[in-house]
Amino acid sequence: MPELAIERWGKDSGFPPDAPIVLTIEGTHGLLIHAVTQAAAERGAAPGARLTDARAIDPALVAVPADPEGDAALVQRLARWAGRWSPLVEVDGPDGLRLDVSGVAHLFGGEAGLVRDIERSFARLGLTARVAIAQTAAAAWALARCSPSPLAGEGDSAKASGARGRGRNRPPPHPSAACGCSLPLPRGERGLFHELTPLPVAALRLDADTVRTLDRLGLKTVGALLEVPRLALARRFRGAEDVVDALDRLTGRKPEPLTAAPTVSPPRALLRLEEPATHPEAPGQALERLIPELVRQLEERRLGARALSLAGYRVDGSVALASVATAIPSREPAHLERLLADKAAALNPEFGFDAFALTAEWTEELGAAQESLVEEPSGERDLARLVDRLTVKLGPRAVRRPRPHESHLPERASGWVGAISLPSLSREGEGGGWRVKRLDAAERASSRASSPLGSTPPLRPSPEGEGKVKRPHRLLDRPEAIDVIYATPEGMPRRFVWRRAVHDIARAEGPERIAPEWWRSASSARLRDYYRVEDADGRRYWIYREGLTGDGRGGAPGWFIHGLFG
C-alpha cells in the first residue's frame, strides 16, 4: 500500500484531492517528507526529501505531521481484515501485508481472480494496493514494490504480497532477458525468473549501502547479479549485507516462512440443541452444562474470567445476550453460575433457542490456586464475590468503594469508584487509608500570608495539630442553601435556617478556607470558608460561606450546608 499514509490522512481530514500537502516526520536534520499527495508530487516533492528542499522548489506546500503509529495500527487492522483471503497473514514493514495463499486461490476463481478480488476490496476502502503473487515471499515482495508492472505469477504454490504498486496495465510479456546464467534454478520457475531479472537490485530488500555499492559496481539489475558467480558474491558481501542470501530467498532456494500473528480466541463453550428450546428455563439449564466446560478451558489456560457473556442464538437468527462482570478473576463454577443465573433466566426465547455460547470475554491470569482445605474462601475473594453479587443485582453505579483522591474540594476528595472496576481490592496507604493532606496546614499558612483582601478573619490553628483536618461523617450530594444570621459579614455565623428549621449556633470553629481549583473550574468559582458548627441541641454541621464580599465574583456571599458530623 504505497499511498497508505497520505490516503489515510486524506480520509480522516477530507482534504481536497488537488491540495499540495506533504506529511512530514522528524529527521536527524529537520523535517523529512514522509508522504505526498499527487498535487505535491507534481510540484517536486518526493518522499524522503527534506521539507526545506521541497519548499525551496515550491513554497506553497502545506506540511502536516505524519502519524506513523496510526498508520501501523491501520496496517494491523488490515492484516486482520485480510484474513478473509488467507488464514496466514503477516504484517510486512510499515505498509505491506504478506499472505500465504497456497491452496486458497481456487476459492476466488484462480490466482487472477484472487488478485482482482484483493484489488477491488482495497479500492473499496479507498486504498491503493499493489498486489503480486509469486512462488516465494521475497519474489512477491520484489514484484509488488519494484516491478514497473505487477504480475500475477503462475505456479502452483504461491505467495501473495499485497504491497505497494499496482499499475493499471495488465502484465505485459517481459522482454526475455538473457537466461544463460550460471546458477541452476529450481525447475518450473523459469517464468518467475524471467519476471525477476529486469528488476533493480533494490528489489532484493538489501540495505541502502549495499544497494549503492552494487550500483557502483555496475550490477544494476537482479539479472546482472545472478550472472555473477556465487562464490565471488559471497566473498565480496558478507554478514548483514548477504547478497547471496537475498538471492536465495528470491529464488526459493532458501525457505522464508511467514509468521502470522497468533490469534488467541477467548475461552468459549458451545452447546447446540437438537430442537429449538422455547421454555424459559432453557438458558438456565444450558448454563449448567456450559459452565463446567468453560471452567475446564479456563483451568487449562490458567485464566480467570473477569467478564462473561451468555449468548442464546435464536432460530430466527437473532441473538440474546446476558453479560456479567466480576471484581477479581474467577473460575469457580458455583460463583459464575450464581452471577449469571438471574440474567440467563431473563433471556427471552421468542421462537426458541437452538444454540448457546458462553464466552469469557475478558480474562486475567489466575494461577492454579488451591482452595483452602476447609470450605472457607479467603477474605479478599470472599469480598470480591460479595461485590460481584451486589453489582450484578443493583448495577455498577450503586456499589462503590472510595479511592482517595488528592483534592481539597470535599466533594471531589471522596473519589467514589465502582467497586467492580477497582482492580485491586487492597487499599493503598496504611492505617486508616485516608491520609489527611499535610498540604492543608501549609495552604492555610500561605493563604494567611498572601491574603488578597486585608479584611479576612484571623485563622486559628486547628486544635488537632498540624496536618489534621476534621471532615464530616456525612456529606450532602449537593450543598443546600441556608439562611444565616451572622455578626459581621465575614465573621462567625450565629444562627441558620435549614429546611425550615432554625438552628441556633452554640459553638463554631473556623473558617477553613478552601480555594476553588482554578485549573478545573470556571474563573467565576468562589472560594469557600468552611465552619464546623454545633447548634443548641448538640447537632454538628459543616457549613460554608461561598465567596467574600467584594471579591468581584458575584453579589453577596451565599451560605450552604454541606455535611453532618457524627
Partner 1 sequence: MPAPSRPTLSELFAAHPRDGGWTAFLLAQIDTAGPVLWVQQRMAILESGRVYPPGLPVADLIHVEARDAREALWAMEEGLKCRTLSAVIGELWGDPAVLDFTATRRLAVAAERSHVPCWLVRLGGAANLSGARMRWRITSAPSLADPLDPRAPGAPAWDAELFRARGAPPGRWSLAHDAGAFHLVARAGDRAVGQGQRLSA
Q: How far apart are CA 392 and CA 388, in angstroms?
A: 6
- Cβ proximity to partner 1: between 431 and 452 the closer is 431
Burial of 566 (0-12, 13-18, 19+ CB in 10 A): exposed
* Alpha carbon separation from 551 to 395, 453, 482, 513, 527 (Å, rounded): 44, 8, 21, 14, 10
- Cβ atoms of 462 and 495 within 8 Å: the answer is no
Q: Sign of torsion, CA 245 246 247 251?
A: positive
Q: Distance between CA atoms of 452 and 21, rounded to whole angstroms?
A: 52
CA angle 183, 245, 194 (to 5 degrees): 45
Q: Supply the DSSP string of 106-122, one letter for each residue.
A: GGGTHHHHHHHHHHHHH
User: Distance between CA atoms of 365 and 348, rounded to whole angstroms?
Assistant: 33
Under rule CB under 8 A, residue 537 binds partner 1: yes
CB of 563 to partner 1, least distance (A): 6
Sign of CA dihedral 204, 210, 211, 213: negative
Task: Specify the residue, 198 or 493, whose C-beta has the smaller distance to partner 1.
Answer: 493
For residue 55, state whether it binds partner 1 (rule: CB under 8 A): no
Nearer to partner 1, 194 or 437 (CB): 437
Q: Hey, is 68 helix, strand or coil?
A: helix
Contact code string over 237-276 relative to partner 1, x by CB under 8 A: ----------------------------------------
**Of 255, 432, 452, 458, the one binding partner 1 by CB under 8 A:** 432
Contacts of 185 (CB under 8 A, 6+ apart): 193, 251
By CB under 8 A, the residues from 8 to 37 that bind partner 1 are none
Please answer whether residues 119 and 131 qualify as being in contact, where contact means their C-beta atoms are separated by less than 8 angstroms.
yes
CA-CA distance, 335 to 388, in Å (whole number)? 9
Q: Which is nearer to partner 1, 275 or 375 (CB)?
A: 375
| 1 or 325: CB nearest partner 1 | 325
Q: Decide if residue 502 touches partner 1 (CB under 8 A).
A: no
Contact pattern from residue 396 through residue 415 relative to partner 1, giving x for each residue in contact according to CB under 8 A and a dash for the rest: -xxxxxx-x-----x--xxx
How many Cβ atoms sit within 10 Å of the Cβ of residue 363? 21
Q: At closest approach, how far in Å is the CB of 440 from partner 1? A: 11
Q: Does 362 bind partner 1 (CB under 8 A)?
A: no
Strands 159-163, 96-100: pairing is antiparallel
Min CB(345)–partner 1 separation in Å: 17
| Residue with smaller CB distance to partner 1, 100 or 388 | 388
Which of 445, 506, 515, 556 binds partner 1 (CB under 8 A)? It is 506
Closer Cβ to partner 1, 239 or 566, answer by number: 566
Give yes or no for residue 341 binding partner 1 (CB under 8 A).
no
Query: Looking only at Cα atoms, what is the longest distance across the chain?
Result: 112
| Smallest distance from partner 1 to CB 521, Å | 20
> How many residues bind partner 1, per CB under 8 A?
60
Taking CB under 8 A as the criterion, the residue among 352, 472, 495, 525 binding partner 1 is: 472
Using alpha carbons, select from 155, 201, 156, 147 the residue that is nearest to residue 174.
147
The one among 498, 530, 559, 560 contacting partner 1 by CB under 8 A = 498
Stretch that binds partner 1, among 173-181, 202-210, 263-271, 498-506 (CB under 8 A): 498-506
DSSP state of 265: P
Assigned C-alpha cell, 478: 449537593
Q: Which of 509, 525, 553, 558 binds partner 1 (CB under 8 A)?
A: 509
Distance CA 533, CA 374 (A): 52
Distance from C-alpha of 244 to C-alpha of 237, rounded to nearest angstrom: 8
| Residue with Cβ nearer partner 1 (11 or 393) | 393
Contact between 433 and partner 1 per CB under 8 A: yes
Shortest distance, position 19 Cβ to partner 1, whole Å:
55
Q: Which stretch binds partner 1 (CB under 8 A): 173-181, 242-250, 450-458, 471-479?
A: 471-479
What are the cell numbers at 486? 451572622
Q: Does 336 bind partner 1 (CB under 8 A)?
A: no
**Site mask for partner 1 (CB under 8 A), range 539-558, x = bound:** xx------------------
Residues of this chain that interact with partner 1 (CB under 8 A) are: 376, 379-380, 382-383, 385-387, 389-390, 393-394, 397-402, 404, 410, 413-416, 419, 427, 431-434, 436, 460, 463, 470-477, 498-499, 501, 506-509, 532-534, 536-540, 563-566
